[in-house]
Amino acid sequence: MRRMQRQHGPDSDQLRDLQRRMPRPSERGHARLIGLLALGWFAVACGSAADDAGTGGSAPGTGGTGLTGGSSATGGLSSEATGGFSAGGTSATGGATATGGTNTSGPTGGTSTTGGSTATGGTNTSGPTGGTSATGGATATGGTSTGGRSAGGTSTGGTSAGGGSNGGTSAGGTSTGGTTGTGGDATGGGSAGGPVTPEKVSDSDYRFTVGNVVLDANPQVGGRITSLTIDNKAILKAYTCTSYDPNGTCNSSGSTIWTSPQSVWGWPPLTAIDGGPYAATVNDNHLVMKGSPDTTKVNAGITKDISADSSTGWITMTFTIDATQAISAALWQISRVPRGGLACFPVVTMENGYPSWQTSESGGIEWVDDSKQTSVVSEDGSKIVADGSGGWLAYVLGGNLFLIKYPDVKAADFAEDEGDIEIYPGNGFIELEVQGPNQSIAANASSAPWTVQWRVAPVPSTVTVGVGEATLTDFITQQVAM
């Protein structure tokens, strides 16, 4: 460092006189003086470098879009523009914040290393520097520089409010890439969507659109699900009747709810439950349909609550029995599908079967291959009655899986002469049936709710559809777990 000459000072005689009067410094004093001069030179040099280079967390965020510039006070004690310690913006939630190391080396702030994956940024509360980082992207608050440039960087997943420090403009590297939830989809990488709001097409048609799956329900005919499709391909046998007839061939379509056991009401189905008008309301994305009670045999009505979630693909139906008198009953869902597919379910025991309808068991799964048995029709109501074990019943037809999931029922809780899984071979349709537990319901009270879920998915080309095929079993099991 070059010394500067004073313009005004003592003359040479005065200097010599002062030198004679001053004591000679010791060796230790010389060393201390040299150390102080070196420290002063180092401080000035660092301050100049900070002013020129604009450091203070200047490394671009390389690991996941969170350019936080250090986890604590960036740049050490800020002795110039920032006024105290600069917190550099505290990163909040959204994944691990790789803070890039704490910079404590001098007034220039040092260099912040990789930022990590900060999803929501957080709020910088340390005075005028920093600010609030935008959610869903990098917290470009950087390490606030002293007298130089704040290397906040450019956030690709949101707006960096770190920006300029008091010492200059916000510059620095660009934070890109990163982990899920930062600089991209703020939901953490999950598919977009959520609860589906039912569309009222008409008084007789409420529709749920769940991606490429569409469900229609008709409150005017027993709150029946009249149609279920994927890419316009029918999963259910569609209900197309122009008027309700419990004995009509057209009535054996769509999906409906009855009470069990059937021995209480016999045949045909009770109009109030199966085909009468239900009062429909939409409440918080739920379609709720409430039927009038039957007063002839079961002394009860049914309430149906349908909802869907496009992020999971599940359609959820919750049912209750509303009794007007004390009764014992179970809820029973009957869904008609076109013939020619492959049905399967995990089984404990087969209670009953239809002798000419061939079934087989493999690996604890019962299989019903209807592809070559479509001519088999039950003439007397006989059907498969089983004690299922896993709480699901699946049907594969035309490259699509129709999955029914329900709470498994112990055999001791079955309604009389019933099972929790039943399959009926009809003329042009198969009934896939699941039942809940038998319940004792007090007069003017409702049963415990019973929930059934549906899922429709295309079968991948890597899956072999056939009896006992492991790839199919694995695919169905995976779908059940979703």
Which tens digit of pLDDT belongs to each residue from 195-215? 999 999 999 999 999 999 999
Cα dist from 336 to 252, 254, 295, whole Å: 7, 6, 27
Which string of DSSP letters, residue by residue, matches 299-355? -EEEEEEEEEBTTT--EEEEEEEEESS-EEEEEEEEEEE-SS-EEEEEEEEEEE--T
Buried b (16+ CB within 10 A) or exposed e, 376-385: ebbeeeebbb
Chain centroid to CA 93? 17
pTM of the model as a whole? 0.63
d(CA 217, CA 207): 7
Count CA atoms closer than 13 A to 191's CA, side-chain side: 10
Pairwise pLDDT comparison (169 vs 288), residue with the higher score: 288
Report pLDDT for 38: 41
Q: Is 74 helix (H, G, I), strand (E, B) or coil?
A: coil
Q: How far apart are CA 154 and CA 12, in angstroms?
A: 61
Whether the bond between 23 and the residue before it is cis, its omega within 30 degrees of 0, is no
Q: What is the dihedral of CA 21, 27, 29, 32, to 10 degrees?
A: 150
User: Does residue 401 have a pLDDT over 50?
Assistant: yes
- Asked if the model's pLDDT at residue 8 lies above 60, the reply is no
Backbone angles phi, psi at 134, to 5 degrees: -70, 150
The pLDDT, as a whole number, for residue 192 is 61
CA dihedral 406, 409, 415, 420 (to 10 degrees): 50
- Residue 10, pLDDT score: 42
Domain ranges of the chain: 32-187, 199-481
pLDDT recorded at residue 143: 38
pLDDT band at 354 (very low <50, low <70, confident <90, very high): confident
Is the pLDDT at 353 greater than 80? The verdict is yes
**In the prediction, which pLDDT does 13 show?**
44
Distance of alpha carbon 218 from alpha carbon 473, whole angstroms: 34
For the segment 33-78, what is each residue's pLDDT rounded down to a tens digit? 334 334 343 333 434 333 333 333 333 333 333 333 333 333 333 3
326 CB-near residues (< 8 Å, 6+ apart): 440, 441, 442, 443
**Which pairing describes strands 154-155 and 174-175: parallel, antiparallel, or unpaired?**
parallel
Average pLDDT of the segment spanning 349-353: 89
What's the whole-number average pLDDT of the chain?
73
Q: Distance between CA 256 and CA 234 in Å, rounded?
A: 17
The answer, yes or no, to whether the previous bond of 261 is cis (omega within 30 of 0) is yes
Q: Three-class SS of residue 20?
A: helix
CB count within 10 Å of CB 482 equals 11
Cβ contacts of residue 317 below 8 Å, gap of 6+?
A: 304, 305, 306, 333, 451, 452, 453, 454
Binned at pLDDT 50, 70 and 90, residue 112 comes out as very low
- Residue range 199-481 forms a domain whose CATH class is mainly beta
Residue 313 and residue 211 in contact, taking contact as beta carbons nearer than 8 Å:
yes
- Contact between residue 136 and residue 97 where contact means Cβ atoms under 8 Å apart: no
- Using the predicted structure, report yes or no on whether residue 225 has a pLDDT greater than 60: yes
Would you give the DSSP letter of residue 446?
B
